[in-house]
Amino acid sequence: MKNYIWVSMLCLISPLFGQDTPARTFEARVYGSAYVLNSRWHTYRPLSVKGFDVGPFSLALSTAKGAIVQELELGYWGGENGLPGYRQELQQMHLRYEYGTYLSRKILNQVRVRIGAGWQVFYQHREEIPTVIGRYLRDRDRVGLGMDFVSHFEVPLRPRLFLDLSLGFLNFTYALNRSYSHNPGLPERQRELTNFELDWLLLRQLRIGIGYRL
């Protein structure tokens, strides 16, 4: 009797092992960022058009199984620009995770569309070095979490090479800011300021990426 039970159970579960499952694929990307509206936690060397800043390049690796996509991105940037009375030196880095899905239909039967959400941990350090007499060195640190919804449009260039245009919207940023002034005329407790900041914008980020299917 027990043999009949085992045979019946095997007959029921064997079709599960016989089903085809989608293969896992991997893609590598290089992103270049542009911020349509000035972001207070990303300060880049500005272009000539006011309010349109160019961001750093970052590297990302994504994996997909069926329509589900997960992506991990690492970015770093360092540079300098000018402020009134100061020369600003900046370093920043971020680690970003994105979870999304491909839509079943392509645009013009060519362009793949992906929608999802991203979470980003970032750290920024900058030094404001005085360029005029009467001002003092200032250190600023910023650490926080950014979240947004994002859509990708992947345009094929070659069988494995593609262009990735992504647009971030409903951006939320939570950040802890610390600044320290090296002004000897201030008491020590007044030199350091710390505050928490919540920022959100309906539309912020436009990015262009080059991707390669491994």
For the stretch 153-210, pLDDT in tens is 999 999 999 999 988 887 788 889 999 888 888 888 888 889 988 877 655 667 888 9
Partners of 93 in the β-ladder: 76, 123
Determine, yes or no, domain membership for 172: yes
> Among all chains, which residue has been given the structure tokens 């003092």?
136
The one-character DSSP state at 192 is E
* Residue spans of beta strands (DSSP E) within 36-67: 53-65
**In-domain check, residue 17:** no
Q: Indicate whether 4 belongs to any domain.
A: no
Is 63 inside any structural domain?
A: yes
Residue 199 lies in a domain: yes
In this predicted structure, the answer to whether residue 148 has a pLDDT above a threshold of 70 is: yes
User: What is the Cα–Cα distance from 119 to 175, expressed in whole angstroms?
Assistant: 13
The domain of 180 spans: 22-213
Q: Does residue 124 sit within a domain?
A: yes
The total domain count for the chain is 1
Q: Do the strands 138-156 and 86-102 form a parallel or antiparallel pair, or are they unpaired?
A: unpaired
What is the pLDDT of the chain when averaged over all its residues?
A: 79
Q: Which one is predicted more confidently, 43 or 64?
A: 64
Does some domain include residue 143?
Answer: yes
pLDDT score of 66 more than 70: yes
- Whether 124 shows a pLDDT value over 90: the answer reads no
Q: Letter for the amino acid at 98? A: E
The one-letter code for the residue type at 180 is Y
Question: Residue 5: in which H helix or E strand, if any?
Answer: helix 2-18
pLDDT digits (tens, 9 = 90+) for 92-107: 888 999 999 999 999 9
More confident residue, 144 or 38: 144
Bridge partners, 173 (sequence order): 146, 199
Q: Are 137 and 130 in contact (CB under 8 A)?
A: yes
Confidence of residue 76 (pLDDT cuts 50, 70, 90): confident
Banded pLDDT at 21 (limits 50, 70, 90):
low
